[in-house]
Amino acid sequence: MDSSLYPTLQVRDGFTEISRHTGYLNRIFKFKDYWYCGNEKGLYKLSGTTWSVVYEYADTNSSRLWEYAMFFDGSKLYFLDGSLQLRQYDGSSLSVVSGAPGSAFITSHANRFYLANKNDNLLSFSGLRDANDWSSTDKYVGTGKITVETQDGEKPSGLTAFSNHVILFKKYTMHKLFGEDSTNFNMTQPYGVGCISDRTICPTRDSLYWLGPDGFYDYMGGAAPTKISEPIKPYINKINMSYAHLCCAGTDGRFVYLTLVTDTNTLPNVTFKYDLQRQAWWLVDFVATSFFLDGQTLYFGTNDGRIMKMGGTTDNGAQPKWFIETKPFSEDDETVRKAINRLFIVADIEPGSTLNVAYAGGTEGGVWNQVYTTSNGTGAIQSIRIPVIVRTPETWYRLKLSGTGKAKIHRIIREVSKRNG
């Protein structure tokens, strides 16, 4: 939207495929200017147009989720998957960090690595400026473990660094680490808000976002986290909790994208984006299974092994599909037989694009009656006058505008005139 007084709704940018691997891409990232991806079988590196193996299993497992981090000067990549011992990789040589504890989650903060496991309540930290040191005992620069217990004994579900703190999540709680070394480390439990998927933990410049068991949260580092997912609550309520750990999130700085696993699905099946400026949710027509922000460009992975780059006029060669649904309208005590509703749509519809207008009776009506369609526009602003006569028992109705291609909707003007006096 370009104005809160007279907003213009513009079709989102499309996306293009930059590479294709195989399987469900649960992780994509760059290291030393090379692309890497993780799927249910292994971790791979892209050189030119060829994918090579960094680490691979003999079987496939959709719950095998790759975690990675870079440490200190960025010369080494470290990764694990929940059962794999922490690995160190410099772009060609791979080695095991033998002293590191078995872990599922990893983050770096203040020149230390932090590891947490799904099977115990220990937060482990490495030696200062040494990711391979997990055994030294010097109280200032050495390693150690912090026990993070809750009354019900719940285990860790995510780990991140935000607002100058390490934050450890469990399903129903979050814990913040204060201090610089073992002489003053102190873990607190500031809020009873947890996380069900560490892959939804998404930091921006001002906030930290994540998916809890009852919704998607925004945390700015001071006040209590705020739940912002009420508009998509029906989808949140249908999350398949057995596969909730596959939900993921990413951001391009303006929007936060959230992918869920709902109903009986066992892989991600629906993606939303949240407008950070307008606090509005949008359902998008692609499903992202992982995200990576490179500079100001957002990339996402898919269930069928593609890495997609956001931006462009098409969805990988096909016109974008879009729709908006309005809130319900009514005419107070006027009945549908006493009033005619006329709409004026002021819009830019590019040549080759389409615009459809439909209405549904009632406040939650889902049976859409199409009243207008155009298969081509002039590419210039035009005013389309569309009479809508609602032939339902309800005085309430909703509008739906949809189409393909590129469009800008500048105004939706509604005119009501009484019938029979």
Q: Is the pTM of this model over 0.95?
A: no
pLDDT at residue 334, as a whole number = 47
pLDDT at residue 1, as a whole number = 39
- Residue pair 336/391 in contact by the 8 Å Cβ criterion: yes
Q: What is the pLDDT along the chain (421 residues), one digit of tens a residue?
A: 345 556 677 888 889 999 999 999 999 999 999 999 999 999 999 999 999 999 999 999 998 999 999 987 889 999 999 999 999 999 999 999 999 999 999 999 999 999 999 999 999 999 999 999 999 999 999 999 999 988 888 999 999 999 999 999 999 999 999 999 999 999 998 889 999 999 999 999 899 999 999 999 999 987 899 999 999 999 999 999 999 999 999 999 999 999 999 999 999 999 999 999 889 998 988 999 999 999 999 999 999 999 999 988 889 999 888 888 888 876 554 444 556 667 778 888 888 888 898 888 777 767 898 888 887 777 777 777 776 665 555 667 788 999 998 888 888 887 776 655 4
CA–CA separation, 227 and 187 (whole Å) = 24
pLDDT at residue 20, as a whole number = 96
Cite the beta strand spans of 232-276 per DSSP E: 248-251, 255-260, 270-275
- H-helix segments, 145-299: 233-236
- Residue pair 104/80 in contact by the 8 Å Cβ criterion: yes
pLDDT at residue 361, as a whole number = 78
pLDDT at residue 10, as a whole number = 80
Structure tokens at 215: 């919704």
How many residues appear in the chain?
421
CA–CA separation, 100 and 406 (whole Å) = 52
CA–CA separation, 278 and 223 (whole Å) = 21
- Residue pair 20/37 in contact by the 8 Å Cβ criterion: no
pLDDT at residue 285, as a whole number = 84
CB-count burial class (<10 Å; 0-12, 13-18, 19+) for 257: buried
Question: Strands 122-125 and 112-116, how do they pair?
Answer: antiparallel
CA–CA separation, 147 and 145 (whole Å) = 7
